[in-house]
Amino acid sequence: MGRLVAPCVVVRLHDDAGTVGTTAIDKQAVDGVVTVGRIGLYGDIQADRKHHGGEEKAVYAYAAEDADWWSEQLGRDIPPGLFGENLRVAGLDVSNARVGERWKIGDAVVLEVTMPRTPCMTFARWMGEDDDGWVRRFSDARRLGAYLKVVTPGSVRAGDGIEVVPAPEGAPTILDTYRGV
């Protein structure tokens, strides 16, 4: 069983050199209960709705174990939300989650794994890294995290357990579906 380390929502919008001109990647952990609706966590937004958000990408989850790995690689802390994730989770191999598997979080919320994150130039700029170098490095590390859709809305809080309901047999993993950049 996994555990929700932190739900994360946008802190504020930042100017960005990309085509949208702004980014909502700056997310931080929320204390207390957070409502999860059909298009994500209450209080969160996506500046670039062409590439982020919507029902199939309502929630982005990232594993604490992968963040710890990146912390060692980069020599800096990777707090919940820094990678733009809505959920920092522990005890789940998020990048090897199977498309269609469901996560029951706490008493009511059910999410379904839909697709991998594709790293982008906005993410690279946010991390203060060389655009192409960071995108390639993140992609090559194969620690992508997963997007999920909301099947059953409700509320979550840090510390909630996450029960995985397996996907149908033979369903591809997040990494199986990732084409890379």
* Structural domains in the chain, sorted by start: 2-177 (2.40.33.20)
Write the pLDDT tens digit of every residue in 119-157. 988 899 899 876 679 999 999 999 999 999 999 999 999
Determine if residue 40 is left, alpha or beta; phi over 0 gives left, psi from -120 to 50 gives alpha, anything else beta. Answer: left
- Both tokens of 62, joined, read 């990232």
CA angle 99, 134, 61 (to 5 degrees): 30
Strand 40-41 with 109-116, pairing: unpaired
Position 97 scores a pLDDT of 97
**What is the value of pTM for the model shown?**
0.93
CA angle 122, 60, 27 (to 5 degrees): 60
End-to-end CA separation in angstroms for the chain: 32
Write the pLDDT tens digit of every residue in 60-118. 999 999 999 999 999 999 999 999 999 999 999 999 999 999 999 999 999 999 999 98
